[in-house]
Amino acid sequence: MPELPEVENTKRYLIESGIKNLTIESVWTDSPTKWIGTDPHKFHSDFLGSRIVDVERVAKYLIIHTSVDDFILHLGMTGWIRLQHADAEAHKFTRHVIHFSNSDELRFMDSRKFGKIICQQKLTQSLLPDPLSDQFALNKLPASVLGRKRSIKSILMDQSVIPGLGNLYTDESLFQATINPFTPIKDLTTAQLELLTIKIKSVLQRSLDEYDLDRGINDAEPYFSMTPWDINRSVDGPCFKCGAPMQFARINSRGTYFCPQCQSM
Please report, as ranges, the residues that interact with Zn ion according to CB under 5 A.
239, 241-242, 244, 259, 261-262
Choosing from 12, 34, 57, 60, the catalytic residue is 60
Q: Shortest distance, CB of residue 246 to Zn ion, whole angstroms? A: 8
**DSSP string of 11-62?**
HHHHHHTT-TT-BEEEEEES-GGGEESS-HHHHHHHHTT-BEEEEEEETTEE
Q: Considering beta carbons, is residue 212 or 230 the nearer one to Zn ion?
A: 230
Contact 214, 226 (CB under 8 A): yes
Select 53 or 244, whichever has its Cβ closest to Zn ion.
Answer: 244
- Which among 2, 5, 131, 181 is annotated as catalytic? 2
CA dist., res. 45 & res. 25, Å (int): 10
| Catalytic member of 3, 25, 105, 172 | 3
Is residue 145 within 8 A of residue 161, CB to CB? The reply is yes
Least Å from the CB of residue 260 to Zn ion = 8
Please report how close the Cβ of residue 247 comes to Zn ion at its closest, in angstroms.
Answer: 10
Q: Which is nearer to Zn ion, 152 or 262 (CB)?
A: 262
Q: What angle do CA 83, 88, 91 make, to 5 degrees?
A: 80
Query: Is 3 one of the annotated active-site residues of the chain?
Result: yes
Smaller CB separation from Zn ion, 111 or 232: 232
Catalytic, 51? Answer no
Minimal distance, residue 75 CB to Zn ion, in Å? 32
Q: Kindly report the backbone phi and psi dihedral angles of residue 197, in degrees, each rounded to the nearest multiple of 5, phi listed first.
A: -60, -45
Q: Residue 103: exposed, middle, or buried by beta-carbon count in 10 A (0-12, 13-18, 19+)?
A: exposed
2 among known catalytic residues: yes
Closer CB to Zn ion, 15 or 244, in the complex: 244
Identify whether 150 is a catalytic site residue: no
The DSSP output letter for 68 is: S
How many CB atoms sit inside 10 A of residue 45's CB? 9
Strand pairing class (94-100; 52-58):
unpaired
Give min distance, CB of 151 to Zn ion, in A.
Answer: 19
- Which amino acids are annotated catalytic? 2-3, 60, 254
